[in-house]
Structure 1
Amino acid sequence: MNRSSKMKARRRRTLFFAVVIIAVLIVGFLVTKYEDTTAQAPEGTVAPPKATDAAAPAETDKPGEAGKPSNGSGGERAVIAQPESIAVLVNKQNMLPDDYKPSDLVYPDVPFLFKDKIDKRKMRSEAAGALEEMFDGAKADGIRLAGVSAYRSHTTQKSLFDGYVKKDGLEKAMTYSAYPGTSEHETGLAIDVSGSDGKCAATDCFAGTPEAEWLAGHAAEYGFIIRYPQGQESITGYKYEPWHLRYVGKEIASDIASRGITLEEYFDAVPVNN
């Protein structure tokens, strides 16, 4: 073989080895890319939420419990999962949904201290029927009752509460008025009651009147309780209100009255002021 032929053969071998090396490099790159792809999460899986993601409030079947948003004053309130329950526990720890409005509000056929047919004369149907029976029972015993205020919308309660805060400050207002969403009046199951003459209506002097004494002794027979009993402020969060009645049904009302307890204690709930 002459010198020219040897040089050509050498160039062909060099080119061959170069092609082989390039091919190996390409194959290695493709294998690495494939492995990276298969290491990713399979389609259809969900990545874990970020630390800043907020979970939706959980709901429970209990009348007064669900998720717990901040109440804006350092504590928490549970948003009630079943606001339509007759036995619903509404207090400073358990609030109604902002958009809740009872679907069965009616005008009970009982006297009120005013003539207008407005919202605060309404109650839920079952409670209204029981109220009519109670007023009839009181009348038969020589006691004449009158309604002062029943249902309030969330908007009305907010307006009232804001006014009380402006007048007396937040701390004092919280002892006698409910933060919007935590008022029993928003349930349509509560009513403030007085004598038919309107004296001492929704004020401390109502305590000890014949009307207050009759209600304390007979309200439970019709499914109502004195919601904020005397001496139970540390449990209910409110001062004594002998005029504030709450409908819970005869069975629960009878049990609460016979045991001398509050609605919080009936449900074994944590005292409001703890």
Structure 2
Amino acid sequence: MVNKHRPLNPATYVPAKLVRVQGERLRAEAADAYTQLAKAAKAAGVNIMPISGYRSYSQQASLYDSYVRQYGQSTADTIAARPGYSEHQTGLAMDIGNASGICALQACFATTPAGKWAAENCWKYGFIIRYPAGAEATTGYTYEPWHLRYVGGQDLANAVKSKGTLEAYFGLEAAPDYLP
């Protein structure tokens, strides 16, 4: 569980086993589940493309710093995790898109075939949409229909989905801001 109140320990954590899946890296169990998810989507006529999987501490620092320079820190904190606080660094998160690139990393992704399919079906493969619409005060991040978080089996993913957020599922406090 990683959020603005729960950093990785150590901050530079690297998962023990990362494997490649469609050019991105995930932990082995998440990669297997993602492969099944992508195959099922394709069988349904929907092409889901990986955009970003595992990111190292230094990659996350570079991304976050670029957002700070571009938008300022308060906005950057709502669209990207600080290094050491990123789910991508766990190897359990995958940002997805569609083959056309339309609405990539934008809220309108939810209205695309890939976004709709993921919202309806990702739980069947152990994934949740980690930053759902309306949960900004709990997660601290804007709605990200493209950010899938592997949580484990179908039953667990469905249970988390029904609670809305990982914070709610685990009975944790909201984490809208970083602790001082």
Question: Which has the larger Rg?
Answer: 1
For residues 53-132 of structure 1, what are the structure 2 equivalents within 5 Å?
Answer: 89-96=1-8, 97-108=10-21, 110=22, 117=23, 121-132=24-35
Output the CA distance in 1 between the equivalents of 2:71 and 2:113. Answer: 31
Tell me which moved more, 144-153 or 161-170: 161-170
List structure 1 segments (4+ residues) > 3 angstroms apart after TM superposition: none
Pick from 147, 156, 162 the counterpart of residue 59 of structure 2. Answer: 156
* TM-score (norm: length of structure 2): 0.93
The answer on whether the counterparts of 2:87 and 2:93 sit within 8 Å (CA) in structure 1 is yes
For residues 7-22 of structure 1, what are the structure 2 equivalents within 5 Å?
Answer: none
Q: What is aligned with 1:83?
A: none
Output the CA distance in 1 between the equivalents of 2:133 and 2:170. Answer: 19
Query: Which residues of structure 2 form unaligned runs of 5+?
Result: none
Query: Which residues of structure 1 form unaligned runs of 5+?
Result: 1-88, 111-116
The structure that is strand-richer by fraction is 2
Identity, in percent, stands at 46
Q: What is aligned with 1:256?
A: 160
Tell me which moved more, 204-213 or 133-142: 204-213
Deviation sequence 1:109-141 (CA, Å, 0-9, x none): x3xxxxxx5xxx100000000000000110111
Output the CA distance in 2 between the equivalents of 1:172 and 1:149. Answer: 20
1:199 deviates by 1.8
Deviation sequence 1:191-215 (CA, Å, 0-9, x none): 1001122222112221211111110
For residues 1-274 of structure 1, what are the structure 2 equivalents within 5 Å?
Answer: 89-96=1-8, 97-108=10-21, 110=22, 117=23, 121-250=24-153, 251-257=155-161, 259-273=162-176
1:239 deviates by 0.8
Output the CA distance in 1 between the equivalents of 2:176 and 2:35. Answer: 34
Deviation sequence 1:69-118 (CA, Å, 0-9, x none): xxxxxxxxxxxxxxxxxxxx10101111123101110002x3xxxxxx5x
Deviation sequence 1:153-177 (CA, Å, 0-9, x none): 0011011111111111111110101
Secondary structure at the counterpart of residue 95 of structure 1: coil
Please tell me the residue identity of whatever aligns with 1:254.
N
Q: What is aligned with 1:79?
A: none
* TM-score (norm: length of structure 1): 0.62
1:260 deviates by 4.1
Q: Comparing both chains, which one has the higher relative contact order based on Cα–Cα distances under 8 Å and sequence gaps of 6 or more? A: 2
Please tell me the residue identity of whatever aligns with 1:103.
A
1:273 deviates by 2.5
The answer on whether the counterparts of 2:141 and 2:176 sit within 8 Å (CA) in structure 1 is no
Please tell me the residue identity of whatever aligns with 2:108.
C
